[in-house]
Amino acid sequence: MTLTLLISLAICVMLAFYRASITSWVLAALLIVPVISIQASFSDYVLIPVGIALLLFIVLFGIPYVRRNVVSGALLKIFRNILPQISATEQEAIDAGTVGWEGELFSGNPDWDKLMAFPKCGLSVTEQAFLDNEVEQLCAMLDDWDITHNRADLPPEVWQYIKDKGFFGMIIPRHYGGLEFSAQAHSAVVCKVASRSGTGAVTVMVPNSLGPAELLLHYGTEQQKEKYLRRLARGQEVPCFALTGPFAGSDAGAIPDYGVVCHGEFAGQQNVLGMRLTWEKRYITLAPAATLLGLAFKLYDPEHLLGGEADRGITLALIPTDTPGVQIGRRHFPLNSAFLNGPTQGKDVFIPMEYIIGGTSRVGQGWRMLMECLAAGRSISLPASSVGGMKLVARTSGAYGRVRKQFKVPIGKFEGVEEPLARIGAHTYMVDAARRFTALALDMGGKPSVISAIIKYHSTERCRIVINDAMDVHGGKGISLGPDNYLGRFYQQMPVAITVEGANILTRTLMIFGQGAIRSHPYVLKEIAAVHDHDRQRALHQFDDALFGHITFALSNAARSLVFGLTGGRGIAAPEGLETRRYYQHLTRFSAAFAFSADVAMAALGGSLKRREKISARLGDVLSLMYLCSSALKCFEDDGRQAEDLPLLDWSMQDALYKIQQAFDGVIENFPNAWVRGLLSFLVFPLGKGFSPPSDHLGHQIATLLMKPGDARDRLTRGIYVPEDEQDPVGALEAALASTLVSEPLLASMEEARKAGKLKALEEPLRIAEARGLGIITPEQALQLERDYALRRKVIMVDDFAPEQLRAGK
């Protein structure tokens, strides 16, 4: 039997490195059986049935005509009976968008050369100039405490500046008066503004996200584009888009808002063909100030005035808010945020058919239109605003950890504080890398529906971790609200990002793997299409090709997972670079294990996988983490493989690989079938689980990096607003960090003088004056220490108020 096992293992290795066809498996069977007969000295009585079985196997699976009509035909009937019905909205969500890098990760054998061939992320000269000038000026105008506490809105001059400088028209082509920025520039603008003010960022990003401008660009008639895009680009129209309502949140396809096609009076004209709309929406950003309302509703045509069916499906319309019956103006108050957000209602509001986005030809296509455009909000706006906050947190937490001292030691040097600082730095590095890579994919023409769900979920979840860690590092400084608190509002408003554009629980448990398993898998979508094809012969050919391609794909990935698990991924081709080579190999190993595990889960659980949300979520975690790792490796290459950045990359990668291992373990341990649990455990972890969390030493390196000025710290936090004004709390902290490093040797000499009995003063300012008088320090050094003390005091102090200042209405 030893020879049999060796040959079987050799075949596994061959199949691991070379994706084999079904014919190869037949040949493998032909090779193994003679060996078995020799090794076991089988008698003719044993060999005859074995030979017959083998011959039957070859005929059924090795001859395409027989296989197609006997095996595939029978399986096609079974699949049609057991495949869960896909709703129209689910089908449109699956069809929307394109497959990007996640398709490589689903292949079980990602092509890393393809990743390296992606262009380097970057902005044009015009885009960079806008970031350095107009965005810089906007950030300087934003006082977040004044905005959130005193005004509950942006100042009028800020509103006007945003409109005048074209911030509402970043995605609108220059032909219509817009800026026509790339997705990367759009992301960079939102990121920088978010580092200064959440309200400012939301106000800028919403008109450039899912809303009237984007929908008009993709689907509007030429007349609609000419009428509205120029006005939107110049800020003459303030847009909003109303989708969510009291009874349709995450299940947006169940919206109860409706329109009925009819004739009516409009603008003084009689017998106008249009519709009467009734709606109730909430959580609509910019609705209180909107002049142009985008609306999603279900359209009905009971009198068949448009022809066709009475139920026409979800439709989108663009309605001026001064239309009689449109109600706007009231506001929600989401966690002390000051961005304008509120409800809108209408009852039997009559509008003409020309208000439908894209005209009557787009009736009933609203859900698909939304799904195709939703990628912008998930791929750009929320990741960018999250990263802007994370970079602010990374820069300020490191500086505060160095400036603030307890027991005469900077708090950032305590190991207990190094731990959150390491998470802050590494999570910021990885999420920013994913933000840049995803925006690049959009600029290359992609509409990544699965990736947009991945980046939305992980950017906001890791942002939540980072801001919580920052609050721990800052202690009392973080919890005392006021003009000098640069974290408090960010901390308060974090759940808003978690909730919008698809709540994170829903995104993780249903969307990432649920859509990815169908959309990104190389065969599943083809199988589903064949099952629903009513042309029998065409369906049979397509199903046969897809099914046996799928079987070969699964068997090959099973072999690859086993072999790579035994070798630890060694021997896998990977891009050059000693620092990163093993990471590429580990990811290839996990890609094969993921592709096989996904196939096993779909085969073993069938339609019930849709309800096994925890298993689906863990498989989604594996896919997500592989995407984040790919982005981090791409970022490291783009930045020139900087040695100073290695602690950030190493911590990020090691943390992600460990979490991938834990996610696989969760899938295996909770799989309902014991035989499948054993199979997955053997093929995914043949030698056990060998990955560990990042070491304390790596965490120490990242904490040190954050606590001193340098190129690595600047690269990590590039693209945010860093004020130079020392009266600004962030500007003061930056100045205090630089001053601390200069002043510490002088303070050390004063401390020695104090211990020697030369200095008697108890307070630091008096001690500085005493040291200058005794000649221990020079007058210039005394000025430096006085400034350092003032800066440290400003950084450490928190705001206080007279009681009447905190009363309601004040």
Mean pLDDT of 569-576: 90
| Cα gap 629→621, rounded to integer Å | 12
| Cα gap 120→332, rounded to integer Å | 41
Task: Please tell me the least confidently modeled range out of 502-511, 560-569, 740-749.
Answer: 502-511
Q: How many residues does the chain have?
A: 810
**Sign for the pseudo-dihedral over CA of 424, 425, 430, 431:** positive
State the pLDDT confidence band at 620, using cuts at 50, 70 and 90: very high
Read off the DSSP letter of residue 119: P
Q: Name the residues annotated as catalytic.
A: 501
pLDDT at 491 over 90: yes
| Side-chain-facing half-sphere of 194: CA atoms under 13 Å | 30
State the pLDDT confidence band at 34, using cuts at 50, 70 and 90: low
Pairing verdict, β 239-242 and 292-300: parallel
Residue of 416 and 501 predicted with greater confidence: 416
Of 729, 722, 737, give the one whose Cα is nearest residue 788: 737
State the pLDDT confidence band at 651, using cuts at 50, 70 and 90: very high
776 Cβ partners below 8 Å, 6+ apart? 749, 750, 753, 758, 759
Tell the burial category of 375 from Cβ atoms under 10 Å away from its Cβ (0-12, 13-18, 19+).
Answer: buried
pLDDT at 606 over 60: yes
Residue 238, Cα to own-chain centre: how many angstroms?
27
Tell the burial category of 665 from Cβ atoms under 10 Å away from its Cβ (0-12, 13-18, 19+).
Answer: middle
Which residues are paired to 349 by β-bridges? 277
Task: Tokens for 632, please give them.
Answer: 């981090």
**For residue range 675-694, what is the model confidence (pLDDT) as tens digits?**
999 999 999 999 999 999 99
- Res 15: pLDDT: 45
**For residue range 284-306, what is the model confidence (pLDDT) as tens digits?**
999 999 999 999 999 999 999 99
**Sign for the pseudo-dihedral over CA of 218, 219, 221, 225:** negative
State the pLDDT confidence band at 18, using cuts at 50, 70 and 90: very low
Three-state secondary structure call for residue 315? strand
pLDDT at 768 over 90: yes
Mean pLDDT of 237-258: 87
pLDDT at 514 over 60: yes
| Cα gap 493→204, rounded to integer Å | 17
Quickly count helices (H) and strands (E) in the chain. 35, 8
pLDDT at 253 over 80: no
**For residue range 64-89, what is the model confidence (pLDDT) as tens digits?**
777 777 777 777 777 777 666 666 65
Residue of 211 and 791 predicted with greater confidence: 791
- Res 806: pLDDT: 86
pLDDT at 559 over 60: yes
Cα dihedral 341→345→349→352 (10° resolution)? 30
- Res 21: pLDDT: 52
Q: Indicate the average pLDDT of the chain.
A: 89
- Res 406: pLDDT: 93
- Res 20: pLDDT: 45
Amino acid at 103: G
Residue of 539 and 357 predicted with greater confidence: 357
**For residue range 792-804, what is the model confidence (pLDDT) as tens digits?**
999 999 999 999 8
548 Cβ partners below 8 Å, 6+ apart? 22, 61, 67, 72
pLDDT at 241 over 90: yes
Read off the DSSP letter of residue 574: -
| Cα gap 445→731, rounded to integer Å | 39
Task: Please tell me the least confidently modeled range out of 477-481, 525-529, 653-657.
Answer: 525-529
Residue of 809 and 522 predicted with greater confidence: 522
- Res 19: pLDDT: 45
Task: Tokens for 584, please give them.
Answer: 């590429």
613 Cβ partners below 8 Å, 6+ apart? 509, 510
Task: Count other C-beta atoms under 10 Å from residue 633's C-beta.
Answer: 24
State the pLDDT confidence band at 464, using cuts at 50, 70 and 90: very high
Task: Please tell me the least confidently modeled range out of 7-11, 515-519, 607-611, 776-780.
Answer: 7-11
With contact defined as beta carbons under 8 Å apart, do 245 and 317 qualify? no
Residue of 433 and 523 predicted with greater confidence: 433
Mean pLDDT of 115-136: 96
Residue of 14 and 591 predicted with greater confidence: 591
**For residue range 84-110, what is the model confidence (pLDDT) as tens digits?**
666 665 666 666 678 889 999 999 999
- Res 610: pLDDT: 80
State the pLDDT confidence band at 810, using cuts at 50, 70 and 90: low
- Res 510: pLDDT: 87
- Res 576: pLDDT: 82
- Res 448: pLDDT: 84
- Res 616: pLDDT: 94
Residue 118, Cα to own-chain centre: how many angstroms?
19
